[in-house]
Amino acid sequence: MVSEQQLSAIKGSKVLMVGAGGIGCELLKTLALSGFQDIHVIDMDTIEVSNLNRQFLFRQSHVGQSKAKVARDAVLKFRPNISITPYHANVKDPDFNVDFFKQFNVVLNGLDNLDARRHVNRLCLAAGVPLVESGTTGFLGQVTVHVKGRTECYECQPKPAPKTYPVCTITSTPSKFVHCIVWAKDLLFAKLFGDKNQENDLNVHSKDGSSSSKQAEDVFERHKEENLEQYGNRIYDHVFGYNTELALSNEETWRNRNKPRPIYVKDVFSSDLASQNGNLDKSSNGDPPSLSAMASLGLKNPQDLWSLKENSKVFLEALKLFFSKREKEIGNLSFDKDDQLAVEFVTAAANIRASSFGIPLHSLFEAKGIAGNIVHAVATTNAIIAGLIVIEAIKVLQHDIKNYRMTYCLEHPSRKMLLMPVEPFEPNKSCYVCSETPLDLDINTHRSKLRDIVDKIVKAKLGMNLPLIMHRSALLYEVGDDLEEDEVANYAANLEKVLSELPTPVTGGTILTVEDLQQELKCSINIKHREEFDEEKEPDGMILSGWIQPLAAEKNGKTTVDNEVSTSSASEAVPLLTEDDDDLRIIPTITGKKRKLSDVANERKNKRKAEEPNSKNDVVLLDDEKF
Amino acid sequence: MDGEELTEQETALYDRQIRVWGADAQRRLSKSHILVSGLKGTVIEFCKNIVLAGVGSVTLIDDRVVTEELLAANFLIPHDENMYAGKSLAVLCCDSLKDFNPMVRVSVQKGDLSSFGVDFFEKFNVVVVSSCSLSTKKLVNEKCRKASKRIAFYTVDCRDSCGEIFVDLQKYLYSKKEVDEMVECLLEYSSFEEAIAIPWRSLPRRVSKLYLAMRVIERFEELESRNPGDTSIADLPDVQKLRKELCEAHSLSESMIPDALLERLLASTTEFPPVCAIIGGILGQEVIKAISGKGDPLKNFFFFDSMDGKGIIEDISIVKAEG
């Protein structure tokens, strides 16, 4: 039971929940049962079948509807007299500005991606509203409390960048299945079905440095006289046969590696060429409910491992189905883990490539998990985490600062604990988000354009939504609805200019001010000119630093003694939670691509370094599962 | 694992959790039968979790007629007196739980838990009891132990902002991954009666104070023939008296069971929903582990106190002599 004091704090409060998914459903239920009477919920997603195993407020009949709205209706059934305000919207919408956030006593996050979390963190800091953060994956989870000036903010500890793979590993020397998935999804699938104008490294670079794409520019275009079978076979032979032959010609590459085996259609279907193309004609008579190569080939269990021949059949069949049944979408498709045919195509292509490179094959179920970055999720962990969020939220409402805790939900007990509370950390004095520490940017000011800074730093690294860039009092760049036409043109022109040639030149020693008016976040960037960057290691052609190294600097500070104590007690107790979180990005071609919010894949498993260098002491921070 | 494959429908619905525990575990879950008695907030949370997880069947026992107080932490029953008037908790919860997952059979068993025989319990793989007397707990636990096959037995109770889970898996053999190789592990559990009979002096060092406090209150209710959970702050002096007696009998300092803790546990019979969610979540996870054979099961008590936020495992078992 709760005390009278607690109860009145709960009843008088107005809370904002961001996310009505796995954690969100549990949280809304527990808030309502606990006596909260004014709850606002934001979620941009709609309900999917794979949500139903844990997002218990939703039913089969709700598939396709707004999560926030259905969750509200479901909770009002057992608590009809409370107020729940749903928003079927993106929390990054400008409507949810600092004033909007100011109306709440506490904000509770149950989000599935780093981008939105950072955004909410900034709005909470700007509005001065405490934030309770949470995340789960499988049996692991955590809840943290962020109160401006009292505890660290969500971004006080740098979050590691998503895993990226060098281009040549993906295009020429894959050694893991995930490399084959990335190749199949981001290169082959994108080339065949995606935006034709997108830069794409699918073709192998041969020994003399010339790309096979030059002479084979049109190899992926279907010839007029070609039927779909011929086209499929030609694509197959090109990507699994010819391209591999070409890669083999770089003898240097294979000196210390196992050589791949080129695979051609004729090798796989040596004897029964006639039957290679499945039963498309048959199945089209029986019109299958959803378009699936598996279905037309009679493959049922997604957990089965297919042979090379089966994979080849699926590949050719899926390709044929795309071109015959979904022709209109070709050119605009991007990989979607809920698109059965796309998953089949990518699985098959990745497996054929894997078999070429001597890498173990995987089932469709497994391949889908890797390609879609699907996070493991169960109802129980979400329920536990939601309970812990409400306990912290009640403390926050009572300003019970001494008792704020971060709590980790563990899979294996540590010092007898399955639920482990830890004192929150103090704010990081050199955090660019919650303190005003300037950042440093090494960049070639004679070569890089303003656009590079906007895309690769301001948006990608600093997570700003509507940025404004200033050099002293001169505005270099700005986004907004209320701009004059000449301003828009001016900023567009600036974007394409090299830094040193801007109207107010940006050179070594320049201090840029970057600001996001929505997030009310402002920071300074010291520009340092540097001539050369390592293409593989520093693919952005620029290096941002400043808040990345707070750890070493902090060690000497006296102010962090308390922090140290709590850190070491935490790190003693928390075992290393190893996550195999291979992400699916290739550098540099894919990083610039616009990705769906939900695709911001791997940021879900963020690792925080404890202060001891021993990696055993890492604490892993988790996101809410995706979908 | 033998047995039929998961259907397409099951694979789609359970996709995210199959990625946690695998298809074999999902098949085992779908063939398991769970009996649940005492439908207050924590158990409701538990039921939600296992119905979502996709067990084969859930049988509910609770003939109590629904009252406003019983609904305090219940999200299954609409807050409309016209709808629940006169109906039993089990019947109302059953209707609602069925809705969560059409692939799980949810049903009601009428009658008093203590009146059922071993043959009744034998129909289940897992028995979870809550809100029942000390003697019923012991009795049901013994019946489960007498069955011809293993029945996993659990008790769960929440008081105020604290919760307790007890687990008896009897002899439990499971395989566990240790540095790339699978190791067979055997755990031997004590019954509830055996566990709570262990002299307090022989308990693990710095055992959770909650364990001792719960035993005092449980004993008090037994002696006074109270309904489970039916105590109040007015009983504090008598409970303190009993604490003194028990501590003396066990040669343990009374300070091991602080007044503040007893007061909290007696202050109210209303449940604290966040604790229900936490305890119901841990219990759900444990039952899933026991059925699927995946993961280290909890041995044999779990405690959560929202005051310090710790969720602690205590092993309070008799050590059987070798041979």
In terms of domains, do B111 and B256 share one? Answer: no
Chain B residues lying within 8 Å of A372, measured CB to CB? none
| DSSP bridge pairs for B105 | B57
- Return the CATH number of A1-164+373-437+548-627, one of 3.40.50.300, 3.40.50.720, 2.60.40.1170, 3.30.450.20: 3.40.50.720
- What's the average model confidence in pLDDT over B192-209? 93
Q: What is the pLDDT of residue A204?
A: 64
Report if residue B254 sits inside a domain: yes
- What's the average model confidence in pLDDT over A400-422? 93
Q: How do residues A301-312 score in pLDDT, each as one tens digit?
A: 888 899 999 999
Structural domain boundaries, residue B188: 8-193+271-314
Residues of chain A with CATH 3.40.50.720: 1-164+373-437+548-627
Residues of chain A with CATH 1.10.10.520: 175-358
Report if residue B141 sits inside a domain: yes
Instruction: Answer yes or no: do A388 and B308 touch at CB < 8 A.
Output: no
What percentage of chain B has pLDDT greater than the value 70?
97
Q: What is the pLDDT of residue A620?
A: 44
**At residue A131, does pLDDT exceed 80?**
yes
Rounded to whole angstroms, the Cα distance separating A219 from A203 reads 10
Q: Annotated binding site of A for Zn(2+), which residues?
A: 153, 156, 431, 434
**At residue A419, does pLDDT exceed 90?**
yes
Q: How confident is the model at residue A139 (pLDDT cuts 50, 70, 90)?
A: confident
In terms of domains, do B106 and B36 share one? Answer: yes
Report if residue B181 sits inside a domain: yes
Better-predicted residue by pLDDT, A540 or A410: A410
- For residue B81 the two structure tokens come to 């007196």
ipTM of model: 0.95
Rounded to whole angstroms, the Cα distance separating B206 from A463 reads 47
Q: How do residues A32-90 score in pLDDT, each as one tens digit?
A: 999 999 999 999 999 988 888 889 999 989 999 999 999 999 999 999 999 999 999 99
Rounded to whole angstroms, the Cα distance separating A626 from B15 reads 13
Provide the domain count of chain B.
2
- Backbone dihedral angles phi then psi of residue A247, each to the nearest 5 degrees: -65, -40
In terms of domains, do B260 and B279 share one? Answer: no
In terms of domains, do B94 and B120 share one? Answer: yes
Neighbours of A522 (CB within 10 A): 14
- Evaluate the omega torsion of the peptide bond into residue A285 and state whether it is cis, within 30 degrees of 0: no
Instruction: Answer yes or no: do B160 and A1 touch at CB < 8 A.
Output: yes
Nearest-Cα distance to chain A for B60, in Å, is 19
Q: Which one-letter amino acid corresponds to residue A314?
A: V
In terms of domains, do B131 and B20 share one? Answer: yes
Q: How confident is the model at residue A605 (pLDDT cuts 50, 70, 90)?
A: very low
Chain B residues lying within 8 Å of A54, measured CB to CB? 16-17, 52
In terms of domains, do B90 and B229 share one? Answer: no
In terms of domains, do B229 and B160 share one? Answer: no
- For residue A193 the two structure tokens come to 């079905």
- What's the average model confidence in pLDDT over B234-252? 94
Q: How confident is the model at residue B182 (pLDDT cuts 50, 70, 90)?
A: confident
Report if residue B253 sits inside a domain: yes
| DSSP bridge pairs for A442 | A528, A543
What is the rounded average pLDDT for all residues in chain B? 91
Q: What is the pLDDT of residue A444?
A: 93
Rounded to whole angstroms, the Cα distance separating A243 from A203 reads 7
Residues of chain A with CATH 3.10.290.20: 439-545
- What's the average model confidence in pLDDT over B237-260? 94
Q: How do residues B9-67 score in pLDDT, each as one tens digit?
A: 888 888 888 878 888 889 999 999 999 999 999 999 999 999 999 999 999 999 999 88
Chain B residues lying within 8 Å of A420, measured CB to CB? 310-311
Nearest to A383 among B49, B76, B310 (CB): B49
Q: Give me the helices (H) in A103-257, please.
A: 114-127, 167-171, 177-182, 190-193, 212-215, 228-236, 243-248
Report if residue B98 sits inside a domain: yes
Opening angle at CA A321, ends A320 and A326, nearest 5: 120
Q: What is the pLDDT of residue A226?
A: 86
What is the rounded average pLDDT for all residues in chain A? 80
Better-predicted residue by pLDDT, B138 or B69: B138
Q: What is the pLDDT of residue A401?
A: 92
Query: Which residue numbers of A are catalytic?
Result: 168
Instruction: Answer yes or no: do B285 and A380 touch at CB < 8 A.
Output: yes
Q: How do residues A495-526 score in pLDDT, each as one tens digit?
A: 999 999 998 899 988 889 999 888 888 888 99
Q: How confident is the model at residue A576 (pLDDT cuts 50, 70, 90)?
A: very low
Neighbours of A185 (CB within 10 A): 27
Q: What is the pLDDT of residue B122?
A: 96
The CA-atom distances, in angstroms, between B100 and each of A61, B49, B52, B127, B277 are: 12, 10, 7, 21, 17
CATH of residue B279's domain is 3.40.50.720
What percentage of chain A has pLDDT greater than the value 90?
45
Report if residue B1 sits inside a domain: no
Answer yes or no: CATH 3.40.30.10 is held by domain A439-545: no
In terms of domains, do B262 and B296 share one? Answer: no
Best of B26, B29, B187, B278 to substitute, by most chain A Cβ atoms within 10 angstroms, is B278
Instruction: Answer yes or no: do A32 and B75 touch at CB < 8 A.
Output: yes
Report if residue B323 sits inside a domain: no
Span of A521-530, B163-172, B243-252 with lowest mean pLDDT: A521-530
Q: What is the pLDDT of residue A600?
A: 28
On whether the CB atoms of residues A589 and A211 are closer than 8 A, the answer is no
Q: What is the DSSP string of B91-147?
A: HHHHHHHHHH-TTSEEEE--S-GGG--HHHHTT-SEEEEES--HHHHHHHHHHHHHS
- For residue A72 the two structure tokens come to 């509200």
Best of A2, A6, A53 to substitute, by most chain B Cβ atoms within 10 angstroms, is A53
- What's the average model confidence in pLDDT over A97-102? 94
Q: What is the pLDDT of residue A134?
A: 94
Q: How confident is the model at residue A287 (pLDDT cuts 50, 70, 90)?
A: very low
Instruction: Answer yes or no: do B74 and A417 touch at CB < 8 A.
Output: no
In terms of domains, do B153 and B218 share one? Answer: no
Q: What is the pLDDT of residue A400?
A: 93
Q: What is the pLDDT of residue B247?
A: 95
- For residue A264 the two structure tokens come to 């051609």
Q: Where does A175-358 sit in CATH, by number?
A: 1.10.10.520
**Angle between helix A22-34 and A67-78 (nearest 10):** 30
Contacts of residue A562, Cβ cutoff 8 Å, sequence gap at least 6: A423, A426
Chain B residues lying within 8 Å of A56, measured CB to CB? 48, 52, 100
On whether the CB atoms of residues A348 and A384 are closer than 8 A, the answer is no
Report if residue B185 sits inside a domain: yes
Nearest-Cα distance to chain B for A583, in Å, is 17
In terms of domains, do B203 and B307 share one? Answer: no
Scan residues 193-252 of B and list those with Cβ closer than 8 Å to A.
none
Q: How confident is the model at residue A614 (pLDDT cuts 50, 70, 90)?
A: very low
Q: From B234, B250, B267, give the residue that closes a domain.
A: B267
Please check whether residue B45 touches A, CB under 8 A: yes
Q: What is the pLDDT of residue B298?
A: 95
**At residue B128, does pLDDT exceed 60?**
yes
In terms of domains, do B301 and B237 share one? Answer: no
| DSSP bridge pairs for B75 | none
- For residue B171 the two structure tokens come to 């002899």
Rounded to whole angstroms, the Cα distance separating B56 from B26 reads 10
Q: What is the pLDDT of residue A372?
A: 84
- What's the average model confidence in pLDDT over A438-452? 91
Which residue matches tokens 């069971």?
B257
Q: What is the DSSP string of B122-133?
A: TT-SEEEEES--
The helix (run of H) or strand (run of E) holding residue A499 is none
